[in-house]
């Protein structure tokens, strides 16, 4: 499992590759994740209180073979953002 750091930039700004950012989808807390190549995807996954994402994450870009079990660093402290 790899740990993904939270993006240091705010919503609406370009996210650095290999980071995540809080998002909401259909009223649920989730995250947008940028793979190490910078491809963006909105997670449609279970995310535990500690930030563990399940199932594993596959990059949405068909030309990219990034596929990892990930943990979102800082997920718990992002509650109520």
**Binding residues for Zn ion, per CB under 5 A?**
35, 37, 39, 59, 61, 64, 66
SS3 78: helix
Residues 6 or more apart whose CB falls under 8 angstroms from that of 68 comprise: 1, 2, 56, 57
For the CB of residue 59, give the shortest distance to Zn ion in the complex, in Å. Answer: 3
Least CB distance from residue 43 to Zn ion, whole Å?
A: 14
Which residue lies nearest Zn ion, judged by its C-beta?
Answer: 64
* Cβ distance to Zn ion smaller for residue 24 or 37: 37
Residue closer to Zn ion, measured from CB, 41 or 74: 41
């Amino acid at each position: 499992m790899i740990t993904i750091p939270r993006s240091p930039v705010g919503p609406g700004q370009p996210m650095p590759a290999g980071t995540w950012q809080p998002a909401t989808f259909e009223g649920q807390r989730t995250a947008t994740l940028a793979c190490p190549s910078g491809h963006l995807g909105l997670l449609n996954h279970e995310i535990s209180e500690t930030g563990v994402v399940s199932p594993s994450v596959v990059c949405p870009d068909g030309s990219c073979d990034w596929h990892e079990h990930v943990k979102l660093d800082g997920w718990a402290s992002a509650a109520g953002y």
